[in-house]
Structure formats: C-alpha cells, structure tokens
Structure 1
Amino acid sequence: MKTYDAYKESDILGVNKVPKDWKVVNFRYLIDVLTDFTANGSFGDLAKNVNYLEEGVSRLVRLTDLRADFKNKGIYLNEASHNYLKKSELFGGEILLANVGAYAGLAWIYEGIEGKASLGPNMFLLKFKDVLDKRFAYISLTSFYLHSQLLDKATSSAQPKLNKEDVKSCVFILPTLKEQTQIANYLDHKTAIIDALIEKKELLIQKLQAQRQAIINEAVTKGLNPNAKMKDSGIEWLGEIPKHWAAKRLKFIFKIQKRIAGELGYDILSVTQRGLKVKDISNYKGQFSMDYSKYQIVNEGDFVMNHMDLLTGYIDISKQTGVTSPDYRVFELIEEKCNPQYFLYISQLCYKEKIFYSHGQGVSQLGRWRLQAKEFNNMTFPFPSFEEQKEIADYISLNTKIMDKVLVETEKSIKKLKAYRQSIISEAVTGKIDVRDWQQKKIN
C-alpha cells in the first residue's frame, strides 16, 4: 500500500507524523451533541420519574446489552419514563461511548432495535458536525491513537471514569470529508474479511469446547463402560450412574479450610476462567488490599473455588503454596482413595453446567450468586472406586489433549487477527497508508 507524498510532524502519542494536508484538531470542535442519561435531570428527579420494568414500551440500552447484542434479559421503561428521558432517546445510528468502569473508552454504533429505546446510565451519546463522517469517527474511536487518549484519561483515578471534558479534549486527526468516506469504505471491506475469519475460528472453538465438555461429562458421571448396569443416583442433575458406584456428600470427600496467613511474602493466587493464576501486583492499580496478611493460605494440592460468583467463577487445584482472597473457598480432599483430577473435572462440570448455581443464593444481577458452605457440604458427587477414578481422569486427559492444543493455537490465531485488524485501522486513520485510489474488486 502506498503512502502520502508529504507528511508533517505530530505531537500525538504513537503518531509521529500525519499527511501534510490533514488537520489535527481538538475533538470538541467536531462534536455536535455529547449527552448522557443524567442530562435528563438530577439523580433525585431521575429516581422519581424513571421506573425500571421487566416489560415496557421502551428498552433501556445499557453497556451490558450492547456487549450481549441484545440477546440478554433487558430493562424496560413505560411511556412516561421514556418521555422523561427524551434528551437521550435513541433512534439508531448513534455512537455510544462507555464512560465508567473497565470498559470506559470503548465505543459502539447503536444499530437500533425494534421499538423505542433510550440511553442507559454510564454511557455518552455522540453526534457530530457535518465535517466529520460518522463511520470515520467511530473507526477513529476504536483506533489506538484515540482510544489510548480516552483510556489514559479514564484511568487517571482509582475508579475508571470519563467526563464530558475528557472526551472533548482529545486530539483528533481529520482528513478531508471525501477521504474520511474513502477510508471508512476501505476499512469496512478489510475488517469484514478479518471479522469473518475470526468468526469461523470462534465457531471452531465453541464446537471443540462443547465436544470436550461432552467427553468430560459422560466420563465423570457415567464411567467408561457403555455396557455397565445403571442405577438411579437419586440426584436430579446426576441422573443414572453405574450400579457399582457410590454417591457421597461433599462433606465426606472434602474439608473446607480457613488458614489465615498472618504475614506477607506469599504469592497471591486468583481464580480465573483459565484456572488458578499468580497475580502480578507490581503495578497493580485496581481494588486490592496491600495487607494480604489476612488472606488465607493455599497449600499445593488444595482446591480453590470462587463460590461468590457462580456464573463467571471457576475452580482449580493449586500447584503451589500461596495465599488467596478470604472470599474464596479453599478445601482439601479428606478421603484417602480419591483422585484429585477426577474430582476437579466433576467440580468444573458443576460450574459449566450451572450445577453449583442451582444450589446458590444471592443477587445474580450484581454478580453475587454464592454457594453457602452448608449447601456445598450437602451436595452429592458420584464416587467410583479409586482405580476407576484414575482411569477416567487418564482417559479424559488423553482424549482432550489434542483438542486443548488446537484450542490454544486457534486462540493465538484469533489474537493475531485482531492485532492485524487493529494495525490496519490505525494505519488508515493516521495516514500511514494512502487509500484514496483504493477500489473494491468486483467479483464476476
């Protein structure tokens, strides 16, 4: 791809130069409307005049709805509430910008949904003057040079947050309107190709994960002998199990521990969807108690679970000694003839199939759906012989090894494609490449 004939120096971080004829302007001069939910009234007035409903005439568009592509359970408004929020009514085509929390600085184009809609809290609504192509504005907001400005402003305090002045004070690289449209057309075409490749790889991951989980589910609950005689386990989620298996309550398999560290100097362990990881606290800015002497000890071989969040939490076996949050649950096997890997597989199944979730309680909308210790202890797991536990664990390991390798390689490939997508966007919107003569090839 060719470059422009002449460039000029730029003071924008990460952008050394821009095409000579392009403008570098303050974003405030390109914005026509910058508003949000709170523009409709004070917090007190909003509380009195806006009623959230499970069903209504208008949908409140939140960040969580955009991330779920509106396939989640929404919040709705009645006619009076919708009319009260008229300053942030949505019609489709608006650019929305998250302004609070971990996603502060991320932009979306609201494509519109069936029926009325209104902007929810924690987002800005942006409209632009005629000198700025809306598609080009959105693409620029997703590019490194502009998004990094927003991110830097949002994370300047403990709680990531953007105010309107933060957005207005960003520096924007502005080609001519004709070039903006051409760049948007070029990037629409190029990113569509990349997005299609990413989608195919993500579908492959979904299929492999489903196949992998099916292998695990069948093996840990039904065993490896398809001709084994079965019996009713008496447990709804478990159904039938091999006749020669036992079924035991967890209090006879595990013992919950609560060993307080009492001193500093340990590695801090965190439960993630990829297992138990050592937390890097060298440059940690998030919510974290630097006095982790009150954290609980985790010994090598202990099970650690996030029992506070049964939707996105997980469970793993520790490969080392460390400490973890007092909000996690640490427990160890007390039955002598137990294969740890077998019980890890079945415990992870209970997260993925929402078995733990069905035994939990709390406020799921706030991410606090927890499994009380009493409920945990009274849950029942299948209990094959020690020899069969090992056979099942070895079988699962052998039959998922290739899948795991393909999953890792596919995830790496997706990461590279996303990085390539971002590099194309950054090169085009900052003028590193000249796409003025680009034309989409016609397929005969």
Structure 2
Amino acid sequence: MIKNKSYEIRKISDLDIIISDHVANGSFKALKENVTYYDENNYALFLRNIDFKNRLDGANRYIDKESYNYLKKSHLFGGEVVISNVADVGTIHRVPFINRPMVIGNNQIFIKSVHSFLTEYLYVYFKSYWGQNSIFSITSGSAQQKFNKTDFRALEIPIPSPNWILTNIRPFILAKDKIFNETKSLEQLKKNLLNNYF
C-alpha cells in the first residue's frame, strides 16, 4: 500500500486514539431509560449509517439535550472515522464538520485521535482494500455479521510517518470536506428555490 515509504506496524490499542460507540454509555436498560429519540428536529443529530449514506439529507433521527448530556461517550464534533460493526460491517464514513451537536448511532464505532493527521489516515486506510481486509479478519456471525471493539483494538496496521500522511493523505481529505460542504450548500439552494417558486 505504501510503496517506498517507511512505516511501522502498530496495534490499534497502542495508537493515541479514542474508540467508542453508543453502548459505551451504559447498558441497554440504562440507555432506554435515559435517551429519548425523535423523528422531528431536536437538539442533536443521532447519526446512523443510513444518515451518512444520505449525506444527512434524509429522514434523520434526533435526541434532546438531556439525552445528549447523558451520551457523553458518543459525542461527535467532526472528522471522526465511523465504522459500521454490525450488519453492514466495514462501511466507513467521515463525520462532517457541521454547526450542531451530534452523537454516534447504533451498530457503529467511531475513532478519533488528538492528531488530526492520524484520524485522516485511518479513514483512508480503513476504506482501502487492506483496511477492509483487516476489518473482515475480525468479523464473525452468519445470520448477522459483526465485530467487537476488543478485536478491533487488537488489529495491527501499517502507520506511515506524519510527513507522509500530510503530503499524501491530507490534500485528499481537504478536497473531500470541501466537496461535502459545497454539495450541502447546493442542496440547500435548490430547496430554497423550490420553496420560493413552487
């Protein structure tokens, strides 16, 4: 994957990253008692796999402020790597930078480093052939495929130098973020025009 460049094989658990998900906040019983979901607009977005696929332009789900405060281990701020770990295993998303509170939805994990270049690299790596193979190597289940965070943390992956990432990965990520923002702006303009004239 990284030709003629130095890299080291590192275990995910040894990297300076956060790995979390929806159920990190408590048992299913505790979540049911403390989190309220809404189909109409509310305080924070509850981001599911389908919402990422629709570029947040569909029938989104929401939670109120009390639920958001309870879900402290699920907060998203933009830039995180989201990986489906149940059913649609291996689907990879990058959380957009939007001006509102967000939390991770069910059946997904998210990863983020304090070093943004590392988060950017992990997004590209896990979308690649090699990253997908890494995920499928820990996937199990016949009726419903899944993997757990413990097995994910044990994965060993190639990590190139920060300079290599900044030179080869960051330009792609910046372009991707720009395209997302421009697409959202065009979609909003289209909606405004349709509302004004039809």
TM-score category by the smaller chain? 0.7 to 0.9
Number of aligned residue pairs: 173
User: 1:91 — aligned with what?
Assistant: 77
Residue 52 of structure 2 is matched in structure 1 by 66
TM superposition shift of 1:136: 1.4
Q: Which amino acid aligns with 2:120?
A: R
TM-score by length of 2: 0.79
Change (3 A) 1:129 1:30: farther
For residues 62-84 of structure 1, the C-alpha deviation after alignment (integer angstroms, 9 at most, x for no partner) is 11100111111111111111111
Residue 105 in structure 1 maps to residue 93 in structure 2: no
1:69 corresponds to which letter in structure 2? R
Candidates 184, 190, 193, aligned match of 2:169: 184
| Root-mean-square deviation (Å) | 2.3
Determine the C-alpha separation between the residues in 1 that align with 2:170 and 2:64: 39
Aligned partner (choices 114, 119, 126) of residue 141 of structure 1: 126
Q: 1:29 to 1:129 in 2, by over 3 A?
A: farther
Moved over 3 A (4+): 129-132, 185-189
Shift of 1:132: 5.6
1:410 alignment partner in structure 2: none
Q: TM-score, normalised by structure 1?
A: 0.37
The 3 A distance-change label for structure 1 pair 78 and 131 is: closer
Question: Secondary structure of the equivalent of 1:93?
Answer: coil
Residues 59 and 186 (structure 1), Cα distance of their counterparts in 2 relative to 1, 3 Å cut: closer
Change (3 A) 1:129 1:118: closer
Q: Secondary structure at the match of 1:162?
A: coil
Contact residue 85 and residue 146 of structure 2 kept, 8 A: yes
The answer to whether the 8 A contact 1:59-1:75 is kept is yes
Matches within 5 A, 1:198-347: none
**Paired residues for 1:293-442 under 5 Å:** none
Q: Render the CA deviation track for 1:145-191: whole Å, top value 9, x for unaligned.
A: 1211102322x3212101002211222111111111112046559x9
**Is residue 92–residue 123 contact of structure 2 (8 Å, CA) maintained in 1?**
yes
Contact 2:82-2:93 within 8 A present in 1 as well: yes
Identity %: 25
Aligned partner of 1:76 in structure 2 is 62
SS for the counterpart of 1:24 is strand
Q: Deviations over 1:179-237 (max 9, x none)?
A: 11112046559x97xx9xxxxxxxxxxxxxxxxxxxxxxxxxxxxxxxxxxxxxxxxxx
Q: Is the 8 A contact 1:32 1:128 kept in 2?
A: yes
Contact 1:96 1:107 in 2 (8 A): yes
Structure 1 CA distance, aligned partners of 2:134 and 2:27?
Answer: 29
1:122 aligns with 2:107: yes
Unaligned segments of structure 1, at least 5 residues: 5-18, 196-444
CA contact 1:136–1:183 (8 Å) conserved in 2: no
| 1:141–1:147 contact (8 Å) kept in structure 2 | yes
